[in-house]
Amino acid sequence: MKTIKYLLFPIFIIVGDAKAYLVNGEMLIEDFSRRKALATGYIEGVSDTGNNKVFCIPEGTTSGMLRKVAKQHLERHTDQLTLPAASLVMEAFTTEYPCG
């Protein structure tokens, strides 16, 4: 039993630390100016997750266009910047690129 306890301990440390790295809207806005590539990668990840399910991004839409839509949404909704960035970006894309 002690062996299992010691084997699981590092997993709990890693999982416990994961919460500290959740990105909120404030962090994403900061990334737009300081770490553009990181912000773009984050936004592309959200778009890959929800495209053709939650929203429908037209073919030919560039990363720059997605970044612009997300950034404008965050700037218009500054009262929500403490919320998870993924939710805010999904909301931006759902508004800009509705399905149907």
Count of Cβ atoms closer than 10 Å to residue 4 Cβ: 8
SS3 1: coil
Distance between alpha carbon 16 and the CA centroid of its chain, in Å?
20
Instruction: Please tell me whether the overall predicted TM-score, pTM, comes out greater than 0.75 for this model.
Output: yes
Containing structural domain, residue 54 = 33-97
In a domain, 18, yes or no: no
Residue 75: predicted pLDDT:
96
What percent of the chain shows pLDDT beyond 90?
A: 71
Residue 13 forms part of a structural domain: no
How do residues 25-78 score in pLDDT, each as one tens digit? 999 999 988 999 999 999 999 999 999 999 999 999 999 999 999 999 999 999
Examine residue 44 and state whether it is found in any structural domain, yes or no.
yes
The sign of the torsion formed by the CA atoms of 74, 77, 80, 84 equals negative
Q: How far is CA 31 from the centre of its chain?
A: 11
Residue 17 forms part of a structural domain: no
Establish if 4 belongs to a structural domain.
Answer: no
- Is 62 contained in some domain? yes
- The total number of structural domains in the chain stands at 1
User: Would residue 64 count as lying in a domain?
Assistant: yes
Q: How far is CA 63 from CA 4, 35, 60, 96, in A?
A: 45, 15, 10, 14
**80 within some domain:** yes
pLDDT of 95: 97
Provide the CB-side half-sphere exposure for 89 (13 A, CA).
30
